[in-house]
Structure 1
Amino acid sequence: MALSRQTMTDEQRKSVALEYLKAFDNGGTTSSGGSILDLFAPDAQVMFPKWGIAEGHEAIGRMFADVGGTLKSIKHHYAEFTWIFSGGDLVVAEGTSHGEHTDGPWRAGVPDWAAGRWCDVFEIRDWLIQRCFIYLDPDYAGKDTARYPWLRAN
């Protein structure tokens, strides 16, 4: 990772994270019409559950194509986000979403145990995402119930 050249405020880091989430909702296109990959440092890392860690623009693009290829639509609920700032380069966003996966629709809280709640941990420096680790249940349509006794019973 490159050495830091600019000091950023928490609000500036938050704006980069929001731009990323909105670009994801917009099929990978930023508000300026660029690629979501433009928001990442060349050697950035992104982790998505059941995919693993992608490093660099090529691998991150492949990950987003794989994951995005399973989504017909997604919408993050921006007004409900919780933001946590480390006082350094780390920003944590916790929130909810709804949309449609190729296996079916989802909405956070319907049912309460299903997909739609997520948490992203960002490292943002020099106006670029250096690291984004995504924590969520990738079973968007809630089909993976057979392996969990408490869900099988319902």
Structure 2
Amino acid sequence: MSLSTRTMTDEQRKSVALEYLKAFDNGGVTSSGGGILELFAEDAQVYFPKWGLANGKAEIGKLFGDVGGTIRSIRHDYAGFNWIFSGGDTFVAEGTSHGEHRDGGWRAGVPEWGAGRWCDVFEVRDWKIQRVFIYLDPDYAGKDTARYPWLAG
């Protein structure tokens, strides 16, 4: 990891995170036509539930390929995002999404216990994502109900 050379504002950090989320909605392509991995530092880390921790762009690319290969479409609901800033490089985005998984569709709140609500912890420095830990239910289509008695009925 290199030393930080440029100070960023919270709004600038937020703009990097928004570019990342919008790239997902656009099949992994950024607004400038580049690939989503261009938004990451070389030694970045990404955590995704049921996949684990990806270290560096090559592993992050594998994670995105594995997870993205199961998702036909996704849309984030930008108007409802909550942004929480800590005064440093780390901040949190909380929101909802909807889309089509290979096993079926999802929409936050339908059903209330289903997929679609998420929270991401970002670390952005020097206009690059250093770390993003993604917290959500990866059972997008809501098929994993037998293991939870309150959902099995």
TM-score over 0.5 for the pair = yes
Question: 1:113 aligns to what SS in structure 2?
Answer: coil
* Deviation string, structure 1 residues 9-59 (Cα, Å, up to 9, x no partner): 000000000000000111110000001000000000000000000011111
Supply the distance in 2 between the matched residues of 1:5 and 1:38 (Cα, whole angstroms). 19
Amino acid in structure 1 at the alignment position of 2:7: T
Please identify runs of 4+ aligned residues in structure 1 that moved more than 3 A.
none
Which residue of 2 is the match for residue 124 of structure 1?
A: 124
Which residue of 1 is the match for residue 62 of structure 2?
A: 62
Q: TM-score, normalised by structure 1?
A: 0.98
Percentage of identical aligned residues = 78
Q: Which runs of 5+ in 1 are unaligned?
A: none
User: Cα distance, 1:2 vs. partner?
Assistant: 1.4
The reply to whether residue 79 of structure 1 matches residue 93 of structure 2 is no
CA RMSD of aligned residues (A): 0.5
Supply the distance in 1 between the matched residues of 2:35 and 2:66 (Cα, whole angstroms). 16
Amino acid in structure 2 at the alignment position of 1:25: D
Which residue of 1 is the match for residue 21 of structure 2?
A: 21
Amino acid in structure 1 at the alignment position of 2:60: I
Q: Which runs of 5+ in 2 are unaligned?
A: none
* Deviation string, structure 1 residues 98-128 (Cα, Å, up to 9, x no partner): 0000000000000000000000000000000
Supply the distance in 2 between the matched residues of 1:25 and 1:64 (Cα, whole angstroms). 13
Supply the distance in 2 between the matched residues of 1:29 and 1:21 (Cα, whole angstroms). 10
Q: How many residues align?
A: 153
User: Cα distance, 1:61 vs. partner?
Assistant: 0.5
User: Cα distance, 1:91 vs. partner?
Assistant: 1.4
The reply to whether residue 10 of structure 1 matches residue 10 of structure 2 is yes
